[in-house]
Structure 1
Amino acid sequence: MENHFQLRSRFRGAFLGCLLGDALGRLFEMMSGNDSRLAPALDARLAGKGPWFYSDDTQMMMSVAESIVRTGRVSAMDILATLAANYEPTRGYGSGMRRALEAFRSGRGVGFSSWAEGSKGNGAAVRGVPIACAYHDDMESLAAFAEEAAGITHAHPLGRGGAVAMAIALGAVLAREPVSSLLARVTQARAVAGTILATKIENAWQLAREQADGRTAASALGNGIVAEDSVPLAFFCFLRWAPHFDDVVKNAILAGGDTDTIAAMAGALCGAQVGEEGLPATWLGRVERGPKGIEAVKELADGVFALWEKRALAR
C-alpha cells in the first residue's frame, strides 16, 4: 500500500506537471502542428537558458488551490473571488475569462459568454487540478465539486463536462486505477456520458493503442480551445507516452493548437502518476521563481495534501 509520503509527492507531481506543461507550451500557443518551425523552436526553447513563465492556466490552478486551502472546502464563489483577486491580464487570459473576472472585480456580478449558449472552453478543466487531488478518493464528490466549480464561468454543458472528465481522470490516476477503469469512470460520468466528449475520449484511447503520433491525433480529435477538443487530446498524450513525462509534454506541444493548456493537462496527469521525483530536474530549474513561482506551487500542493490527509485520518 502506498504511504502518505509517496502520495504527497504525486500531489506535487500533478501541480508541478501542470505548471511545466503550461510554462513550456505557452510560447507555441496556436502554432500549427504542421508548421515546420515548431519542432526546432521547441528544441531551442529546451536548450535555452532563459526562465519559463507560466500563463493564465497555472495562475487559475493556483487560485483554486489557494481557495481550497484557505476555506478547507470547495466553495465556487470563493474560487471566483480568488480568481478575480489574482487576475493578471499579462498572463494571457482569453477574452471570455477577462470579461468575467473584470466584471466580478468591478461589482457587475457574474455572467458572460464567449458562445451564445455559454462558455465551452478548456479553462475550467485545467484549473481543476487541486479539486481532483483533494477528492481523488471520493469520486462522487469529486465529480460534483468539479462541475460546481466549473459552473461559475462555464455555462455550456461541454465546458463543465470537460472539467469533470479531467478531474475524474486525474483522481483515477492518483488512486492508481488501471486505464480501463479510468476510461469507464470518465466516459460514464453524468456530465460526460453520451456527449461528443465521451466519444472523443474513447477515440483518444484507440489512437494511443495504435501508437499514433500527435499530429494524427490532433487531426482526429482537435487541438483548439474548446474542451471537447483539448481534453481528449491531453488524454491521448498521457495514454500514449506516459510514464515518460518529457515525451508526454513535448508531444502535446508538437501537436499544435492550444499548446499551453493541452500540455498543462497532459503534464498534470503524468505528474500525478510519476510524482515530483519523476519530473525533469532541468525543467523544474527553468520555471519562474518569486512569490508566486514554483515554490508557491509546491506549497499549495502540500496544503491541499494536508487537507486531504486530515480528512482521510478522520475516517
Structure 2
Amino acid sequence: MSFTLFADARLALARDSLAGLSTGDALGAQYFLPAPAPVDLAADALPPAPWEWTDDTEMACSVLAQLADSGGIDRDRLALSFAERCTERRGYGAGAMLILGLVRTGTPWPLAAASAFDGQGSCGNGAAMRVGPLGAYFADSTARAAAQARASAEVTHAHPEGIAGAVAVAVAAAL
C-alpha cells in the first residue's frame, strides 16, 4: 500500500514524535544525573519536577526545524544549528562538544565530524537518538527517511556505525 502525506500531516507526525522523544529523554535523564534518591518506576512513582531534556532533544529540535523550513535536511544549515544551540547544560558528550565547537569556529562539518575519536569519527548513538521525528516526517517513504537520516547523521558522525544507527531508527519510526 502506498500513500502520500501532506506537509501539515508530516509536521504533525514529527511534532508528536518529538513530544514522545523529549518526554522519554527528560525522564531518562533523571536516572543519569545526580539525584537525591532513586525513584521506583515499577511502583508508579515519578521523579519530582522539573525534568530537563538533554542534547538529544535539543538536536532533535534542530532536525525538526530543518524539516519545517525546507522539507529536508541541508547538512550545512543543520551543522550550524547544532553548533549554535549547543550548551554544556544539556549534557553533550565530549565528542559532540569537540565537533560542534569546531563547527562553531568555522571548521567545515565533514572535517569536524571526522576529527572525533582519533580520526575515525563517532560511532555513538547520538544521531540515532535525535532522528525519530525525521522518520515520522517521512512515514510515507522509508527510502526518503533513510536518505535524510543519513544526511542528518553525517553532520556529527563520520563513522558508518553511527550513521547506520540513525538510518535504522528513522526507518523504524517511518514504519
Q: TM-score range by the shorter chain?
A: 0.7 to 0.9
Identity %: 32
* Residue of structure 2 equivalent to 1:223: none
Residue 115 of structure 1: how far off its partner (Å): 5.6
Q: 1:89-141, CA deviations, whole angstroms, 9 ceiling, x for partnerless residues?
A: 21000111101111111113332213652211111011112321221211112
Task: Supply the distance in 2 between the matched residues of 1:125 and 1:131 (Cα, whole angstroms).
Answer: 10
Task: Supply the distance in 1 between the matched residues of 2:105 and 2:39 (Cα, whole angstroms).
Answer: 42
* TM-score when normalising by structure 1: 0.47
Residue 64 of structure 1: how far off its partner (Å): 1.0
Residue 27 of structure 1: how far off its partner (Å): 2.1
Q: 1:118 to 1:52 in 2, by over 3 A?
A: same
Task: Supply the distance in 1 between the matched residues of 2:72 and 2:12 (Cα, whole angstroms).
Answer: 21
What is the root-mean-square deviation in Å for CA atoms of aligned residues? 2.9
Q: Do 1:74 and 1:131's aligned partners in 2 also have CA atoms closer than 8 Å?
A: no
Q: 1:45 to 1:149 in 2, by over 3 A?
A: same
Q: Do 1:84 and 1:104's aligned partners in 2 also have CA atoms closer than 8 Å?
A: yes
Q: 1:30 to 1:157 in 2, by over 3 A?
A: farther
Residue ranges of structure 2 left out of the alignment (5+ in a row): none
Q: Do 1:120 and 1:154's aligned partners in 2 also have CA atoms closer than 8 Å?
A: yes
Q: Do 1:67 and 1:82's aligned partners in 2 also have CA atoms closer than 8 Å?
A: no
* Residue of structure 1 equivalent to 2:58: 59
Q: 1:46 to 1:66 in 2, by over 3 A?
A: same
Task: Supply the distance in 2 between the matched residues of 1:15 and 1:68 (Cα, whole angstroms).
Answer: 12
Q: Do 1:68 and 1:75's aligned partners in 2 also have CA atoms closer than 8 Å?
A: no
Give the AA of the match of 1:62. Answer: C
Pairing 1:139–2:138 present:
no
Residue ranges of structure 1 left out of the alignment (5+ in a row): 32-36, 173-315
Pairing 1:72–2:71 present:
yes
Task: Supply the distance in 1 between the matched residues of 2:172 and 2:121 (Cα, whole angstroms).
Answer: 24
Give the number of equivalent residue pairs.
165
* Residue of structure 2 equivalent to 1:125: 128
Q: Say which structure is richer in helix.
A: 1
Other structure's SS at 2:156 match: coil
Larger radius of gyration: 1
Pairing 1:171–2:170 present:
no
Residue 148 of structure 1: how far off its partner (Å): 1.7
Task: Supply the distance in 2 between the matched residues of 1:83 and 1:45 (Cα, whole angstroms).
Answer: 34
Where relative contact order (Cα < 8 A, 6+ residues apart) is larger, the structure is 1
Task: Supply the distance in 2 between the matched residues of 1:91 and 1:138 (Cα, whole angstroms).
Answer: 32
Task: Supply the distance in 2 between the matched residues of 1:43 and 1:84 (Cα, whole angstroms).
Answer: 40
Q: 1:41 to 1:85 in 2, by over 3 A?
A: same
Give the AA of the match of 2:75. Answer: A
Pairing 1:83–2:94 present:
no
Bigger drift between 76-85 and 22-31 goes to 22-31
Give the AA of the match of 2:79. Answer: L
Q: 1:77 to 1:92 in 2, by over 3 A?
A: same
Q: Do 2:29 and 2:54's aligned partners in 1 also have CA atoms closer than 8 Å?
A: yes
Task: Supply the distance in 1 between the matched residues of 2:144 and 2:138 (Cα, whole angstroms).
Answer: 7
